[in-house]
Chain A
Amino acid sequence: MTIAPNVDSPRTATANPPVQPAQGNLGQAAVVRSSAGGPVAENPTALTPVAKLIDVSKCIGCKACQSACVEWNDTHPGVEENVGVYENPHDLTPDMFTLMRFAEYDNPETGDFEWLIRKDGCMHCADPGCLTACPAPGAIVQYSNGIVDFIHENCIGCGYCVSGCPFDIPRISQVDHRSYKCTLCSDRVAVGQGPACAKACPTHAITFGTKDDMTALAAERVEDLKSRGYDNAGLYDPQGVGGTHVMYVLHHADKPGIYNDLPEDPQIAGVVENWKGPTKTVGLAAIGLAALGSVAMGLFSRVAVEPEDERHAEDLVDRAAAIPGGEGSGEGKDA
């Protein structure tokens, strides 16, 4: 199956991947935002926003998503050691774009124990902190379907994206010094496939489709959870970052923090905003003005040494030399 570049975003992938040459719909033509003033499309292809929905209440923490992610993206996470937890690798790495995080929670209300398992990874924010912070033009782009992708050729490995991200997701490779994170399998989505993790997920805890479809599905799930006594069940689609293209269904949406510190109200840090905003403008302006100002002042005024200053100086030196042993002291001549 060949996808014309103008074909719309896929719904949750139900077909097997193509093996015939397929033309994708993600590329420069669909770029709506690009880091550091990188190139954006004149009038970008209008793709329907997509989303990955992670239903924590269906997740069994099997790590199929991690496995599928590694296989699809050809990364090679190392064999670490066991440190007394289920998380392996122990954190996101440039070779592990997604990670199951396990939390053991004694629910004070019910007195029941709960094992809260959350798939961590890039949230694909509508307002991405990484893109805001990035100093390299075109290193981070946002496509019209909402996918935030790294264009590694343009990445300079400064790590600003790590500081810019409200979810602490990007990781810098110590090998090629470029930043890596979940691409939402942009290469699969481009040809009408869902992300590898969503396709693999055994219990369909991860589903992929248009953001509208996923939001509707989430509502259905929340209703089911409420019927099972999870009164605070809800959808996690934080507006602080303009909403995300990876969303969670949580049984305890009122306490995202209990799912391994999922941020309550994530947003791009104030300092980052300031640094990338006022500091930059004001700073550059000040430098510009100072430069101009001094040049101007230099033109209109100067402090020059007058000839009599030289004479005063000679007198002063001579007089000092003239005191005891004055005449005949030949130091001056020597000079």
Chain B
Amino acid sequence: MTNSWTDIKNTDLVVVMGGNAAEAHPCGFKWVTEAKHHRGAKLIVVDPRFTRTASVSDYYAPIRPGTDIVFLMALIRHMIENDKVQWDYVRNYTNAAYIVRDDFGWSDGLFSGYDEEKRDYDKKSWDYVIGDDGFAVTDPTLENPRCVWQLLRAHVDAYTPELVERVCGTPADRFLKVAEMIGECSSPTKTMTSMYALGWTQHSKGAQNIRGMAMLQLILGNIGVRGGGMNALRGHSNIQGLTDIGLMSNLIPGYLNIPTEQEPDWATYMKSRAFKPLRPGQTSYWQNYPKFMVSFMKSMWGDAATVENDWAYHYLPKLDVPAYDVLRIFEMMDQGRCNIYFCQGFNGLLAFPDRGKVTRALSKLKLLVTIDPLETETSRFWENHGEHNDVDPAAIQTEVLQLPSSCFAEDEGALVNSGRWLQWHWPGAEPPGEAKLDTWIMAQVFLRVRDLYLKEGGVFPDPIVNLTWDYADANEPTPEELAKEMNGRALSDLSDPADPSKTLVKAGQQVLNFSQLRDDGSTACGCWIYSGSWNENGNNMARRDNSDPDSTGAFANWTWSWPLNRRILYNRASSDLDGNPWDDSRRLVWWDGAKWTGYDVPDIAPTAKPGEVGPFIMNQEGVSRLFSRGLMRDGPFPTHMEPFESPMANVFNPAMRGNPVARVFESDVARLGDSAEFPFVATSYRLTEHFHYWTKHNAVNAALQPEFFVEISEQLAAEKGIAKGGRVRVWSKRGEVWAKALVTKRIKPLICDGKPVHVVGIPLHWGFVGAARKGWGPNSLTPFIGDANVETPEFKAFLVNIEPAAGEAVS
């Protein structure tokens, strides 16, 4: 989220598309009802199903799963055609004026530089024209046909309301009504917020769905303002935190990157991260990258990381592929190229696509270690549960160690919510039986491995034996010690750059925040964006002052949010070029003549003069990007791509299947189905009564939603002779499931390309352990394909078939 849950109350229009906030985030959704009640805000829902969110919406429009880009580009077209643009914002705060290279272009659904062999683009042409001064060339008049604005205008021209009706199945009048309501928010005094979640990410072009809405929000001037923003509703309580801390194959805490093979040494690695400003006088904050990187290396390896050894650069692995994401890992496992696997609080057997393949892959492991408070299907993947897990234990040679861990109620520490708030929590009970804290378990694993290397030696033990481990009790590092490590501290006295005679921070003291980090090895910091969370003022994440001056919804003294306790990202953009708020009733951050001030921590240097320094300080341009250059694999603008399994061909290029640059493993090509065999579009989702595969262990939630079911329209039910509450069989190219049929008016057939398209809704909460009835997850049916940029599996649009099923009820 660029903004926070509580900030949503400041909005005038909520657009829920690619999500179902009321269902998946009920208590956050409260702020939508609050905005409706006290601001008269309106709520629009665009979704294949009439959801719980839709039940309280002011306007609903249906859409075919996987066609959001068409809808979004058509919205942008509508805004441009009808002059629903916040011009001052677009001119000054976006790269609309930047001139793009002449060799950039788009045709037949593809951008310039496509290589069918590699299934990849040569992104060279997707860039600005750089002038002799080394800066990007711009045309503030936006007249130049090669400027981003004109290119965008041309790019979206094809996305007419008629195309929306044809591809999305959304009636043109419904689309136009939505466009009209959204258009009102181009006024500087009207704001719209976008609330989305996995309804947009779980597509082979998920990142582009989000780009689409982000561009629309920029055109309407809704980024950086109260009640606006791009609000990604994270699914798990601390998945924001785990991503911040970089628990991914290619990340280093704070969104730094693990080097690749093309970066054999520190210098090369740093060269590509110089982030020189593309316009005069811009901040380009990533210029501080070396400070954060060196501080990270010091916190990992302390004295072993020296300027001489490039800060232990080679202790870090170098990637040969963009990422070893879960799909790749399970592909490797399936090929027998993976021996040991850890699942820490994660139920992969039900969470990853193509369950058949996941089971096969796990069966080829030597050792599977699960660390969880609860029984999981994953830890029992080898156990036969009849139709619910039809495996032969004797044939599975994987050894499984099931380690019992504590749960939230028993441990202490911080979780990061969707609004980037780091909130500290305290235990209220002790772990049951022999269950242990996760920190204890990880410490034990490490210490035992380290001891083996110290005793026996072995391959490249350096990064292991040199890992900093200066905890009071080596066996059980405390949350306080770890939190302070992430905040960072001075390794030697830090002198004040302004006045070298003064010492800013004494050796051993916590740094105030990341502004004090150095690239000379004098500071250590585990996660620079968390720097400031536990400094010499104490544990700021444990603050509980819930006062909110002028009820802006900021709650600046409640816990702590990254970066620097900033509650709304890009908040400098809430004021115009001169630093005056666009909307006086929604002041956030403004220029008081000498410095930036306001209700939030300004997202700009306090004394950076308005008009000179752009508001998007993390970008080299100083402005936001309508045209994303080479930063995304599948295009600088979003272009319509059908799901890999789709009932209709891509209208721009019938030969193109799915996302032309998305990764498809050999073994999975044969496991893709077509609409002849599988005529119905399936989509998967959560229900509000359950949380993933956890609450099925809970008698209360099991009672509230006891049994696996699928949702279909009355028309499809009639067509297939399926009775309400009857049992059905749903199958795809990859597997089959049996479920109860929930026949509803909330799903209606869509007319796409002249043909009716039926949607089958498949909720995801059932498995074979727990208090609820035994069932299946949609992952028995979903394709093993991910988003081109971040490999998020395509769970939201795939093809299935359905028929009435005879026999016993499920479980």
Chain A residues packing against B (C-beta within 8 Å)? 57-64, 66-67, 70-71, 76-86, 88-89, 96, 104, 106, 112-115, 117, 202-205, 221, 224, 227-228
Chain B residues packing against A (C-beta within 8 Å)? 22-23, 26-27, 29-30, 32-34, 36-37, 40, 50, 52-56, 58, 60, 688-689, 699-709, 723-726, 740-746, 748, 771-773, 809
Bound-complex Cα distance A89 to B700 (A): 10
Task: Identify 17 new A-B residue pairs, CB closer than 8 A, beyond the known A60-B23, A79-B699, A228-B58.
Answer: A57-B56, A59-B56, A63-B688, A67-B704, A81-B809, A82-B705, A82-B708, A84-B723, A84-B743, A86-B742, A88-B704, A88-B706, A113-B50, A115-B52, A115-B54, A115-B55, A117-B55
B residues less than 8 Å from A202 (CB atoms): 26-27, 29-30
B residues less than 8 Å from A112 (CB atoms): 60
Contact between chains at B772 and A60 (CB < 8 Å): no
Bound-complex Cα distance A115 to B53 (A): 10
Contact of A84 among B688, B705, B740 (CB under 8 A): B740
A residues less than 8 Å from B33 (CB atoms): 58, 203-205
Bound-complex Cα distance A81 to B746 (A): 21
Within the complex, the shortest CB–CB distance from B241 to chain A, in Å, comes to 23
Bound-complex Cα distance A202 to B33 (A): 10
B residues less than 8 Å from A86 (CB atoms): 742
Contact between chains at B726 and A84 (CB < 8 Å): yes
Contact between chains at A60 and B709 (CB < 8 Å): no
B residues less than 8 Å from A61 (CB atoms): 52, 55, 688
A-B contact pairs, 14 of them (CB 8 A): A61-B55, A62-B52, A63-B689, A70-B700, A80-B706, A81-B773, A82-B706, A82-B708, A84-B723, A84-B740, A84-B741, A88-B689, A88-B706, A224-B37
9 nearest CB pairs, A to B? A84-B725, A202-B26, A84-B724, A82-B707, A115-B55, A60-B22, A83-B725, A82-B740, A203-B33
A residues less than 8 Å from B32 (CB atoms): 203
Within the complex, the shortest CB–CB distance from A198 to chain B, in Å, comes to 13
A residues less than 8 Å from B688 (CB atoms): 60-63
B residues less than 8 Å from A205 (CB atoms): 33
B residues less than 8 Å from A228 (CB atoms): 58
Bound-complex Cα distance A86 to B27 (A): 20
Contact of B40 among A71, A117, A204, A227 (CB under 8 A): A227
Bound-complex Cα distance A224 to B56 (A): 13
Contact between chains at A71 and B55 (CB < 8 Å): no
Bound-complex Cα distance A227 to B22 (A): 23
Within the complex, the shortest CB–CB distance from B272 to chain A, in Å, comes to 46
Contact of B705 among A58, A88, A114, A115 (CB under 8 A): A88
Contact of B704 among A58, A66, A84, A106 (CB under 8 A): A66
Residue of A nearest to B56 (CB): A60
Contact between chains at B743 and A221 (CB < 8 Å): no
Contact between chains at B40 and A83 (CB < 8 Å): no
Contact between chains at A62 and B30 (CB < 8 Å): no
Contacts A81-B809, A84-B743 hold; do A63 and B707 have CB atoms under 8 A apart? no
Contact of B703 among A60, A84, A89, A104 (CB under 8 A): A89
Within the complex, the shortest CB–CB distance from B716 to chain A, in Å, comes to 14
Contacts A60-B26, A67-B701, A203-B26 hold; do A104 and B745 have CB atoms under 8 A apart? yes
Contact of B706 among A58, A76, A81 (CB under 8 A): A81
A residues less than 8 Å from B745 (CB atoms): 104, 106, 113
A residues less than 8 Å from B26 (CB atoms): 60, 62, 64, 202-203
Within the complex, the shortest CB–CB distance from A141 to chain B, in Å, comes to 29
B residues less than 8 Å from A227 (CB atoms): 40
B residues less than 8 Å from A106 (CB atoms): 745
Interface of A is mostly: loop
B residues less than 8 Å from A84 (CB atoms): 709, 723-726, 740-743
Q: Name the residue among B706, B724, B726 with the largest chain A CB count within 10 angstroms.
A: B706
Bound-complex Cα distance A57 to B36 (A): 11
B residues less than 8 Å from A88 (CB atoms): 689, 703-706
Bound-complex Cα distance A71 to B699 (A): 11
Bound-complex Cα distance A85 to B69 (A): 33
Interface of B is mostly: mixed
Bound-complex Cα distance A268 to B179 (A): 51
Contact between chains at B809 and A77 (CB < 8 Å): no
B residues less than 8 Å from A70 (CB atoms): 700, 703
Contacts A113-B746, A202-B30 hold; do A81 and B704 have CB atoms under 8 A apart? no
Bound-complex Cα distance A77 to B704 (A): 9
Within the complex, the shortest CB–CB distance from B6 to chain A, in Å, comes to 14
Contact between chains at B56 and A58 (CB < 8 Å): yes
Bound-complex Cα distance A84 to B711 (A): 9
Bound-complex Cα distance A71 to B698 (A): 12
Within the complex, the shortest CB–CB distance from B772 to chain A, in Å, comes to 6
Contacts A60-B22, A79-B773 hold; do A115 and B50 have CB atoms under 8 A apart? yes
Bound-complex Cα distance A92 to B26 (A): 23
Bound-complex Cα distance A85 to B705 (A): 10
Contacts A62-B26, A202-B26, A203-B30 hold; do A85 and B56 have CB atoms under 8 A apart? no
Within the complex, the shortest CB–CB distance from B786 to chain A, in Å, comes to 31
Within the complex, the shortest CB–CB distance from B83 to chain A, in Å, comes to 27
Contact between chains at A82 and B709 (CB < 8 Å): yes
Q: Name the residue among A63, A96, A112 with the largest chain B CB count within 10 angstroms.
A: A63
Contact between chains at B55 and A81 (CB < 8 Å): no
Contact between chains at B746 and A79 (CB < 8 Å): no
A residues less than 8 Å from B56 (CB atoms): 57-60, 203
Contact of A60 among B52, B723, B724, B726 (CB under 8 A): B52
Within the complex, the shortest CB–CB distance from A137 to chain B, in Å, comes to 35
B residues less than 8 Å from A63 (CB atoms): 688-689, 704
A residues less than 8 Å from B709 (CB atoms): 82, 84
Bound-complex Cα distance A77 to B745 (A): 28
B residues less than 8 Å from A81 (CB atoms): 706-707, 740, 773, 809
B residues less than 8 Å from A76 (CB atoms): 699
Bound-complex Cα distance A262 to B726 (A): 28
B residues less than 8 Å from A66 (CB atoms): 704
Residue of B nearest to A220 (CB): B37
Residue of A nearest to B688 (CB): A62
Residue of A nearest to B717 (CB): A84
Bound-complex Cα distance A115 to B52 (A): 8
Q: Name the residue among A62, A64, A80, A221 with the largest chain B CB count within 10 angstroms.
A: A62
Contact between chains at A204 and B30 (CB < 8 Å): yes
Bound-complex Cα distance A60 to B706 (A): 19
Q: Name the residue among A67, A79, A104 with the largest chain B CB count within 10 angstroms.
A: A79
Within the complex, the shortest CB–CB distance from B32 to chain A, in Å, comes to 8
Within the complex, the shortest CB–CB distance from A224 to chain B, in Å, comes to 6
Contacts A79-B771, A81-B773 hold; do A115 and B23 have CB atoms under 8 A apart? no
Within the complex, the shortest CB–CB distance from A80 to chain B, in Å, comes to 5
A residues less than 8 Å from B724 (CB atoms): 83-85
Contact between chains at B55 and A60 (CB < 8 Å): yes
B residues less than 8 Å from A113 (CB atoms): 50, 60, 745-746, 748
Contact of A203 among B29, B50, B58, B701 (CB under 8 A): B29
Bound-complex Cα distance A80 to B811 (A): 11
Bound-complex Cα distance A330 to B748 (A): 102
Residue of A nearest to B714 (CB): A104
Within the complex, the shortest CB–CB distance from A204 to chain B, in Å, comes to 6
Within the complex, the shortest CB–CB distance from A50 to chain B, in Å, comes to 22
Q: Name the residue among B56, B705, B746 with the largest chain A CB count within 10 angstroms.
A: B56
Within the complex, the shortest CB–CB distance from B376 to chain A, in Å, comes to 20
Bound-complex Cα distance A215 to B762 (A): 41
Bound-complex Cα distance A221 to B34 (A): 12
A residues less than 8 Å from B704 (CB atoms): 63, 66-67, 88
Within the complex, the shortest CB–CB distance from A48 to chain B, in Å, comes to 25
Bound-complex Cα distance A257 to B708 (A): 30
B residues less than 8 Å from A64 (CB atoms): 26
A residues less than 8 Å from B689 (CB atoms): 62-63, 88
Within the complex, the shortest CB–CB distance from A116 to chain B, in Å, comes to 8
Residue of B nearest to A114 (CB): B55
Contact between chains at A224 and B707 (CB < 8 Å): no
Within the complex, the shortest CB–CB distance from B588 to chain A, in Å, comes to 26
A residues less than 8 Å from B60 (CB atoms): 112-113
